[in-house]
């Protein structure tokens, strides 16, 4: 599987999980907290794999505009991590939790739109399908390693 397909799949998974959390009734606090923890885990693994594997490969491949987009992606990741940390400390039954989840959804939506519209087309123009698959394998392996570390 190519790197862009893997990352797009992650993007769709995260968006779906957040939508599920948003429609889960408030009185299900334990379910909402469990969903949030799954979302948090998935987003942290995804973002770290992008930061350690994908973005450095992109920077090495394409020059010029891409640096600006990659820098913006790092900032968006930091905003997402800050929101996840804040959400970890908020009761899932409170209005504040819902507001932060909505902000997280918007942050992720913006990140996905920019990454898929700007960075993905650039690397697809500059990498062969074999290179895209090799980078996809590296992302896959990094995500497996990160999941093992978290589970340990």
Average pLDDT, the chain: 93
Give the pLDDT of residue 64: 67
Question: CB of 51 within 8 A of CB of 74?
Answer: yes
| Average pLDDT score over residue span 121-129 | 91
pLDDT at 104 over 80: yes
Position 61 scores a pLDDT of 79
- What CATH code is carried by the domain that includes residue 42? 1.20.120
Give the pLDDT confidence score for residue 67 in this predicted structure.
84
pLDDT at residue 58 above 70?
Answer: yes
User: Which residues span the domain enclosing 52?
Assistant: 3-151
Number of structural domains in the chain: 1
Model-level pTM?
0.92
Measured CA to CA in angstroms, residue 37 lies from 40, 47, 65, 92, 120 at distances of 5, 15, 35, 11, 28
- What would the two tokens of residue 114 be? 């920019």
Smallest CA-to-CA distance from 120 within 38, 39, 4, 1 is with 4
Q: What does the pLDDT read at residue 130? A: 96
């Amino acid at each position: 599987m190519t790197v862009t397909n893997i990352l797009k799949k992650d993007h769709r998974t995260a968006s779906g999980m957040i939508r599920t959390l948003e429609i889960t009734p408030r009185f299900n606090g334990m379910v909402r907290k469990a969903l949030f923890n799954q979302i948090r885990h998935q987003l942290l693994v995804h973002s770290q794999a992008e930061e350690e594997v994908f973005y450095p490969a992109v920077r090495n491949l394409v020059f010029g505009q891409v640096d600006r987009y990659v820098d913006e992606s790092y900032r968006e990741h930091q905003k997402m991590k800050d929101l996840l940390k804040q959400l970890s400390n908020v009761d899932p039954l409170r209005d504040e939790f819902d507001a932060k989840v909505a902000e997280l959804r918007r942050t992720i939506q913006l990140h996905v739109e920019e990454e898929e519209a700007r960075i993905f087309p650039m690397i697809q123009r500059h990498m062969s399908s074999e290179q895209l698959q090799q980078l996809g394998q590296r992302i896959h392996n990094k995500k497996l390693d990160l999941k093992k570390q978290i589970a340990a």
